[in-house]
């Protein structure tokens, strides 16, 4: 018998805390905005008028055909809000933020192109809208000229130049080209001052694409490539994992890099090394997180669609997630388990992180067995969901995880001041042997509030047909303040089941039979769930739940719910198992 591999111990912490930008950073940002409104900055935007574009790339990322159909009909409609293209008030404060950013970033060009073929009148309407925007926002505007939005607008204006400046209107053509040049000069000053994040990458990408497309941009291109390399380091770990810990953010970064790559290819140039390297990292990271259905689970905001995964060349792989990703994987046979074994991202990196630490998802082949309730964002941005549902999706209860005292394991950032409590550190040990794979992870999310840590142990058999788990609530007294609560605390452990899965409680009330539908009845599978309450009496129940899928569809699902109680200062212990009882392996 082979020897067990040495345990791999990891200590993951929230390096940046969750306080958001510092006072000095906020003050510097405000001073920058005031400087950009000055006559001196307007002087800096002046320069030689470009006469042409060196190349027009082909957009590798398709727009939304449904939005495109509305645009063909003359409506700027997105995020549940719309105005007429001919008379839209482009600076209306009543419009949703996502709509305003879409208009200012000229993202409507991409969506309109998805509704091709376009008539001459429809193209003329698009050009007229661009002309109106150029007149209204010729000078700096705090929102319309925000660096990330400006970078986006540069890329859209160049990519869809035949739509923006069709025909023989040389005055309008010159205005568009001069606008691109002025926006690029603005980004030369604004982009380097941004805090690390996706917005900085977008701004620098727009600057780089302008250098690739306008004559005389060689010096700017060299500088922008160096800036892009630096900006990518703010959103990707050294192992390619996302700093924000969201698979959706990874796919959006990948889409942006695909467009930048298209600008190089349009010029007949080899993409810069930072672009190629980052695309490879994104592809590998998404592949490592992909479940049996081909998609990563919607951790920390959302998940990419199948179309995004396909164009990025990402598919389920046998490679484990990077050590710094905060995710752990158990895989055997047709079964794959991914565990969120890290702290949530810092608020300054991702203000919409989830309180999902030690939650897990599980697939049997292509079938979803254990899931989370989904993401509040999609590839088009935030979804039009009720605020209560958004917070529910981000909550610990929205994941297949343990909840103590009806309290999230981490405070959910909502833009307000930092509050006490939440996961700051996760300790992880993983090992494997011929007898199976083990994972042990412990987090401190309830330590300051209740004086407890949560420990989750998982073991997966070599054939993948047996997953066993144990959840412990462990008193953590040494060097800690006394728990604020002295009454008995509730424990709830949720297992959200995938779409189509149905569960029935066993006669003894200590387990459930889960049936998973297959493509044909002969391909159906069944899993047996058992629970043991080792410290105090508990109850197993089956309750309704919901799932927001990758496309934004809302599905009714079920959840297995284990509930019990734990006394202050005592230890809680609940064990459970999932065993395949029937069906193809």
> Residue 370's closest CA among 566, 205, 559?
559
Question: Which among 497, 525, 440 is positioned nearest to 474, based on CA atoms?
Answer: 440
CA distances from 306 to 1, 21, 399 (A): 41, 35, 22
Question: 342, 245 in Cβ contact below 8 A?
Answer: yes
Judge residue 276's burial from the number of C-beta atoms within 10 Å of its C-beta, 0-12 exposed, 13-18 middle, 19 or more buried: middle
Q: Cis link prior to 286 (omega < 30° from 0)?
A: no
CA distances (Å), 259 to each of 58, 235, 380, 446, 577, in order? 8, 18, 16, 43, 46
Identify the pLDDT of residue 428.
Answer: 97
* Residue 453 three-state SS: strand
Query: What local confidence, expressed as pLDDT, does residue 124 receive?
Result: 93
DSSP state letter for 478: T
- Could you tell me the CA-to-CA distances from 98 to 114, 261, 353, 403 in Å, in that order? 19, 26, 19, 33
Are 258 and 279 in contact by the 8 Å Cβ rule? The answer is yes
Q: Which residue has the tokens 């409104």?
A: 37
Output the CA angle 118-123-126, nearest 5 degrees: 125
Those residues with Cβ within 8 angstroms of residue 134's Cβ, 6 or more apart along the chain or in another chain: 175, 176, 179
pLDDT average per 10 residues of sequence, the chain (585 residues): 50 67 73 84 87 95 95 91 92 90 96 93 94 95 96 98 88 94 96 93 98 95 97 93 95 98 97 97 97 96 96 95 95 97 87 93 96 94 91 97 96 59 91 96 93 97 97 79 70 97 96 86 84 95 97 96 95 97 67
CB 452 within 8 A of CB 446: yes
Task: Say how far apart CA 122 and CA 117 lie, in whole Å.
Answer: 10
> Could you give the CA distance from residue 509 to residue 532 in angstroms, rounded to a whole number?
11
CB atoms under 10 Å from CB of 379, counted, come to: 19
Q: What is the pLDDT of residue 5?
A: 42
Confidence (pLDDT) at 412:
85
Give the chain's end-to-end CA distance (angstroms, integer): 25
Q: Which of 335, 575, 350, 345 is nearest to 462 (CA)?
A: 335
CA atoms within 13 A on the CB side of 176: 28
Mark out the alpha helices in 420-496 (DSSP H runs): 447-450
What's the helix, strand, coil split of the chain in %, to 5?
35, 25, 40
Domain boundaries, the chain: 30-234, 327-582
User: If you search the block for the tokens 């989830």, which residue do you land on?
Assistant: 354
pLDDT of residue 519: 60
CATH of domain 327-582: 2.70.98.70
DSSP state of 161: H
Token pair belonging to 109: 């060009």
Q: Is residue 344 within 8 Å of residue 356, measured between CB atoms? A: yes
Q: Measure the CA–CA gap between 326 and 359, rounded to whole angstroms.
A: 12
Q: How many CB atoms lie within 10 A of CB 384?
A: 11
Identify the sign of the CA torsion 118, 120, 122, 123.
Answer: positive
Tokens of 381: 């941005």
Q: Are 162 and 56 in contact, with CB atoms under 8 Å apart? A: yes
pTM of the model: 0.92
The Cα-based distances of 399 to 23, 183, 358, 446, 501 in angstroms read 34, 43, 9, 17, 16
Kindly list the strands in the beta sheet with 8-13, ordered across the sheet, starting from the edge strand earlier in the chain. 8-13, 425-433, 436-443, 452-460, 466-475, 572-582, 525-533, 511-516, 502-505
Q: What is the pLDDT of residue 584?
A: 58
Q: Which residues of 39-73 are buried (b: 16+ CB within 10 A; e: fewer)?
A: eebeeebeeeebeebebebebebebbeebbebbbe
Distance in angstroms (rounded) separating the CA atoms of residues 210 and 192: 16
Contact present, 406 and 565 (Cβ < 8 Å) = no
Q: How far apart are CA 286 and CA 341, in angstroms?
A: 17
Tell me how far the alpha carbon of residue 564 is from its chain's centroid. Answer: 33
Cβ neighbours for 235, distance < 8 A, ≥ 6 positions apart:
196, 197, 198, 201, 242, 243, 244, 249, 253
């Amino acid at each position: 018998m082979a020897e067990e591999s040495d345990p791999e111990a990891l200590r993951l912490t929230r390096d940046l805390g969750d306080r958001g930008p510092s006072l000095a950073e906020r003050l510097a940002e405000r001073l920058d905005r005031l400087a950009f409104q000055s006559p001196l900055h307007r002087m800096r935007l002046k320069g030689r008028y470009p006469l042409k574009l060196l190349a027009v790339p082909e957009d590798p990322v398709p727009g939304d055909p449904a939005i495109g159909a509305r645009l063909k009909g003359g409506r700027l409609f997105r995020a549940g809000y719309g105005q007429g293209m001919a008379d839209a008030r482009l600076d209306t404060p009543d419009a949703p933020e996502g709509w305003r950013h879409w208009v200012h970033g000229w993202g409507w060009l991409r969506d309109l192109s998805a509704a091709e073929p376009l008539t001459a009148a429809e193209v003329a309407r698009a050009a007229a809208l661009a002309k109106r925007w150029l007149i209204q926002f010729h000078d700096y505007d705090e929102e319309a000229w925000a660096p990330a939005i400006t970078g986006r607008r540069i890329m859209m204006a160049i990519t869809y130049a035949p739509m923006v400046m069709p025909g023989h209107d040389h005055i309008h053509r010159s205005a568009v080209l001069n606008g691109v040049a002025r926006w690029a000069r603005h980004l030369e000053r604004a982009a380097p001052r941004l805090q690390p994040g996706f917005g900085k990458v977008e701004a620098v990408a727009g600057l780089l694409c302008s250098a690739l497309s306008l004559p005389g941009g060689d010096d700017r291109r060299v500088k922008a490539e160096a800036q892009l390399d630096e900006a990518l380091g703010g959103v990707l770990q050294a192992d390619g994992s996302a700093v924000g810990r969201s698979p959706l953010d990874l796919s959006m970064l990948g889409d942006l890099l695909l467009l930048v790559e298209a600008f190089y290819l349009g010029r007949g140039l080899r993409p810069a090394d930072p672009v190629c390297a980052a695309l490879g990292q994104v592809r590998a990271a998404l592949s490592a997180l992909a479940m049996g259905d081909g998609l990563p689970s919607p951790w920390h905001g959302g998940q990419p669609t199948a179309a995004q995964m396909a164009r990025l060349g990402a598919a389920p792989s046998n490679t484990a997630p990077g050590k710094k990703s905060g995710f752990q994987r158990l895989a055997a046979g047709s079964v794959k388990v991914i565990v969120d074994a890290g702290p949530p991202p810092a608020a300054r990196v991702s203000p919409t992180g989830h309180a999902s630490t030690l939650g897990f998802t599980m697939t049997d082949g292509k079938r979803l067995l254990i899931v989370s309730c989904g993401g509040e964002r999609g590839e088009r941005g935030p979804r039009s969901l009720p605020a209560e549902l958004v917070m529910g999706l981000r909550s610990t209860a929205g994941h297949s995880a343990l909840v103590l005292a009806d309290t999230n394991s981490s405070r959910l950032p909502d833009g307000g001041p930092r509050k006490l409590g939440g996961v700051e550190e996760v300790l992880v040990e993983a090992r494997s042997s011929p007898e199976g794979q083990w994972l042990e992870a412990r987090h401190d999310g309830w330590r300051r509030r209740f004086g407890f840590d949560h420990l989750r142990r998982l073991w997966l058999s070599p054939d993948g047909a047996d997953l066993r788990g144990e959840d412990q609530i462990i008193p953590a007294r040494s060097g800690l303040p006394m728990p604020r609560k002295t009454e008995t605390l509730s424990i709830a452990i949720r297992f959200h089941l995938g779409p189509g899965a149905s569960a029935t409680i066993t006669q003894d009330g200590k387990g459930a039979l889960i049936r998973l539908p297959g493509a044909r009845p002969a391909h159906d599978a069944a899993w047996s769930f058992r629970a043991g309450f080792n410290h105090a009496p508990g109850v197993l129940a089956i309750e309704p739940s919901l799932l927001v899928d990758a496309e934004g569809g809302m599905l009714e699902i079920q959840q297995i719910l284990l509930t019990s109680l734990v006394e202050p200062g005592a230890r809680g212990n609940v064990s459970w198992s999932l065993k395949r009882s029937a069906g193809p392996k």
